[in-house]
Amino acid sequence: MIIKIHKQLLLTSLISLMVWGCGSSPEYTTAKMKIEKADWAQAEEYLVKALEVEPDNPEIPVQLGYHIYAKQSNWVQMNEMFERALNIDPEAKILTGRPVREFVEQYRNMFWAQHYNKGVGDYNKYRQSRDKADLQSAITAFKTSGEINPNEGQSFSILATSYLELGQNDLAIQNGKKAVEVMPNDFHANFALSQILSRLGQKEESLPYGEKAADLDPSNSNAIRQLATLYYELNEKEKSIETFEKAIKTETDKMLKSNLYFNLGVLNMQLNNFQDAEDSFMAAYDLNPEDIEALAGMAQTFENAEKWRRASKFYRECIALDPENPDHYKGMARVLIQQGRPEEATRYYEKAKARGG
């Protein structure tokens, strides 16, 4: 997401730095003259001297942070100066009469947004080009934005995703956790970390972040699907069923909803909830009549429930729609044997073998 900055606000702030206050020390007066002339080397020298003479003037470290260290991309010293100004008095009126905290917040956000937006642009280029150079450029920009404003968790969350793309898994986890540390109640930070940990096979570690994401945004079907899948992979099938049912209620996309019903059918079948499994597979098929897996799921459900005729009906439909799949023929053969029709079953077994089954 590109971050927008209000131009008028920035223009006002830039002008404000040129305003001279009354009662300044000679060192600070000279520093402001050098700033006006864009003589940055001399401006730095006299600002440092002014800070020694006026250690309780928060305006001086703000000027140092903005005009000197930010221009040098020395973000550590920029933040040290901003923090020094805040520690003197965050509500002190400086320059055009606005509080120190407003200037500090504005300048940090301005520099942060410049680098964050560059990172987003480079990352989007990488998604098109798949060129690792673009990805590395994005990572550099996101790292810089994190240095500029360590309290802005978006930098660390997208940095984690970028490192995952680069195959640097430890750094992906490290930055994902940093994002959650900075923004513990942010949906995207928790969801991204849950996805990263799950993708790297750390299912149990992923679960609490997946649960937190689902709690933070109960209407987000992606988060609920992720959580339901985690429960399934951790063999918590009852919780998985409950979560899939929640996901179905919130999902509006027909194909995704069909997939959710199918997964719910599989779970119910594993728990021998045959009627619920049948209902789920039927719902999946109604939403997506081309879903062969839903038909096969219904056939298997009826087979497991020993409803042989209904099972054979759906196996026949599977064969009609997917005639080269040997599993459908083998399923049909099994239910025919159960119905006492061995000769027909043998023919279906032969057809399965002919198709590699």
Q: Are the C-beta atoms of 176 and 202 separated by less than 8 Å?
A: no
DSSP state of 236: -
Q: Is 317 helix (H, G, I), strand (E, B) or coil?
A: helix
| Mean of pLDDT values over 240-257 | 88
Q: Which fold has domain 153-251?
A: 1.25.40
**Helix, strand, or coil here: 98?**
strand
User: For position 304, what pLDDT does the model report?
Assistant: 85
| 96 confidence band (pLDDT: 50, 70, 90) | confident
Q: Per the confidence metrics, is the pTM higher than 0.85?
A: no
CATH class of 253-357: mainly alpha
Top CATH class, 7-107: mainly alpha
Spatial separation of the C-alpha atoms in residues 87 and 81, rounded to whole Å: 10
The boundaries of every CATH 1.25.40.10 domain in the chain are: 7-107, 153-251, 253-357
pLDDT of 191 > 90? The answer is yes
More confidently predicted of 248 and 144: 144
Query: Considering only CA atoms, which of 171, 181, 177 is closest in space to residue 205?
Result: 177
pLDDT, mean of residues 341-351: 90
Whole-number pLDDT of residue 107 = 95
Q: Is 260's pLDDT higher than 80?
A: yes
Question: Which residues, 6+ apart, have CB-to-CB distance to 32 below 8 Å?
Answer: 18, 20, 24, 63
Radius of gyration of the chain (CA): 31
**Angle CA(267)–CA(273)–CA(278) in degrees, nearest 5?**
80
Residue 80 pLDDT grade (very low, low, confident, very high; cuts 50, 70, 90)? very high
| pLDDT tens readout for residues 200-234 | 999 999 999 999 999 999 888 889 889 998 998 99
Provide the residue type at 280 as one letter: S
Angstrom distances, CA of residue 111 to CA of 5, 38, 167, 286: 10, 19, 28, 53
pLDDT per residue as tens digits for the range 147-190:
999 999 999 999 999 999 999 999 999 999 999 999 999 999 99
Q: Say what the pLDDT of residue 23 is.
A: 55
pLDDT above 60: residue 248: yes
